[in-house]
Amino acid sequence: MLTRRGFLAASAMGAAGLAGLTACGGNSSTSNGSSGAKDLAFLNWDPVEKGTPLANAVADFEKASGIKVKVQPAPASDYDTKLLTIMSSGSTPDAIRLNDDYVLGYSQQNTLLDLNPYIEKDGLKETDFFEHPFNFPIQQDGKHTAWATGTQPNMIFYNVDAFKEAGVPLPPTTWTDEGWKWDDFLEAAKRLTIPGERYGCLVFDDTSSETTFTVNNGTDGIYSKDGKRFTLADPGGVEGIQFIADLTLKHKVQPPWSQIQSGEGNPNYALSLFATGKIAMMTRNFGSAAYMRQNVKDFKWDLAPIPGNKSQKTISTLIVWAIPAKAKNPDQAWKLLKSFTDPEGAKALAVQRDLVPAGKEAAKLLEAKGVTPEHVSLVIDATENGVNENFNPHIQQARALYRPLLDVIFTGQQSAADALGGVKDRVEQALNS
């Protein structure tokens, strides 16, 4: 599954540059209008394979509505590029999966349909949803340009058995940083580390840490709230990034950057290190829970909050869908998207317990007794303490400037202060171009 900030090769801002390319796909509906359509085209970045939660949710929708959903899968590694091409063409799908990073950009280009008329017509109330997923797609002009069906907050995944064997107090089971600030996290990582056998933690390969370890240090995160300043280069941001780097460089409780980047040809290399007991704690999107349930065999694992410092927030990656402004069958597309947050649709999507449904009532499905991890309900608390990166129409250019320097910092070639400070002016020029 594509994670937030996972692919940088394309963004909504690059549509103009791709406008001349031939479209890779189009609207497959056989209807000439919205009202009588009996099928709709749905672009997604994963195959909707039989038996998967999404396939079950789609099948339930088809059975209830009589509308056929024609899925157009695109490889995750090339999805954003393909989506740009399709959206700049004259033939778009009726519904699309959308990286939450790019909602703002597509919205500013007026390429997404305003869902407010549907939301109001169906009587959907904000109070029935968690604030973050419901309000995130609302633009400054009031348009509701996407529909978030769930969140996948970043959490600490940890090896319960390793904690107990090392005599380390277990992390909090509620959303608190009492006894769980950066110093506590570091102390636990030191005690959990067994040289040559196990590292105490893995943080720096999780791109969401760029926000969580800076927001929790009292900053706006990577960018200022207005999106014009590169606050990652401010003192609080620099300190957060250096803390992450020093887990390896100074404290030796995190694997070397080169090891994680090589991955030994395994796309799930970092997850496999945790699953085989070679890492005791790691920050990861809640979507990794499905992998852990399938692959952790020899120990008990659980979830904990992201450690706090001056505050305690986490990133909540959103599962976002949208209807292109040029969709031929928007009414049917809305019925599909709405079904994902209806009780049955939400239940189908939440069956793996690797996302928090956007609806508060549906989120109670996570709290069934006897599930793994034991404290899965913590992700609901995480949703209520979630933030997202502050955005700017030129975010792709900004990332292209500062991201390569993280390699330099994490390998110890430069300090965070020198590397990020040296690129600050250029990044802010890009943000304000």
Mean pLDDT of 12-17: 31
Nearest to 151, CA basis, from 368, 389, 379, 364: 379
Banded pLDDT at 243 (limits 50, 70, 90): very high
Banded pLDDT at 370 (limits 50, 70, 90): low
Lowest mean pLDDT among 30-39, 130-139, 159-168, 285-294: 30-39
Contact of 168 with 188, CB cutoff 8 Å: yes
Query: Cα–Cα distances in Å, from 216 out to 2, 189, 208?
Result: 25, 19, 12
Reported as half-sphere exposure (CB side, CA atoms, 13 A), residue 28 has a value of: 14
User: Above 90 in pLDDT, residue 339?
Assistant: yes
Nearest to 99, CA basis, from 318, 315, 394: 318
User: Above 80 in pLDDT, residue 371?
Assistant: no
Lowest mean pLDDT among 47-56, 103-112, 201-210, 218-227: 47-56
Mean pLDDT of 323-337: 96
> For position 383, what pLDDT does the model report?
85
In DSSP terms, which residues pair with 388 in a beta bridge?
none
More confident residue, 32 or 365: 365
More confident residue, 224 or 390: 224
pLDDT digits (tens, 9 = 90+) for 195-213: 999 999 999 999 999 999 9
Mean pLDDT of 39-44: 92
Mean pLDDT of 23-30: 34
Distance CA 362, CA 126 (A): 14
Highest mean pLDDT among 7-11, 40-44, 105-109 belongs to: 40-44
In DSSP terms, which residues pair with 70 in a beta bridge?
41
pLDDT above 70 as % of the chain: 91
DSSP letter assigned to residue 23: P
In DSSP terms, which residues pair with 96 in a beta bridge?
43, 322
Query: Cα–Cα distances in Å, from 147 out to 45, 319, 342?
Result: 16, 8, 13
Banded pLDDT at 391 (limits 50, 70, 90): confident
**What average pLDDT does the chain have?**
87
Query: Which amino acid is it at 308?
Result: G
Output phi, psi for 235, to 5 deg.
-55, -45
User: Above 90 in pLDDT, residue 355?
Assistant: no
Q: Per the structure block, which two tokens stand in for 121?
A: 């017509």
R_g over Cα of the chain: 22
Q: Per the structure block, which two tokens stand in for 28?
A: 């497959």
Residue ranges of the alpha helices (H) in 109-234?
116-121, 131-135, 160-166, 182-192, 209-215
- For the entire predicted model, the pTM comes to 0.81
> For position 12, what pLDDT does the model report?
31
Distance CA 90, CA 23 (A): 9
Output phi, psi for 392, to 5 deg.
-155, 145
pLDDT digits (tens, 9 = 90+) for 273-299: 999 999 999 999 998 998 999 899 999
> For position 366, what pLDDT does the model report?
79
pLDDT digits (tens, 9 = 90+) for 86-137: 888 878 999 999 988 889 889 988 999 999 999 999 999 999 998 889 999 9
DSSP H or E run through 97: strand 95-98
Mean pLDDT of 385-413: 90
Banded pLDDT at 364 (limits 50, 70, 90): confident
Output phi, psi for 91, to 5 deg.
-135, 105
Lowest mean pLDDT among 116-130, 328-342, 363-377: 363-377
Residue 375 CB partners (closer than 8 Å, separation 6+): 173, 302, 303, 304
More confident residue, 384 or 173: 173
Nearest to 136, CA basis, from 79, 164, 168, 98: 98
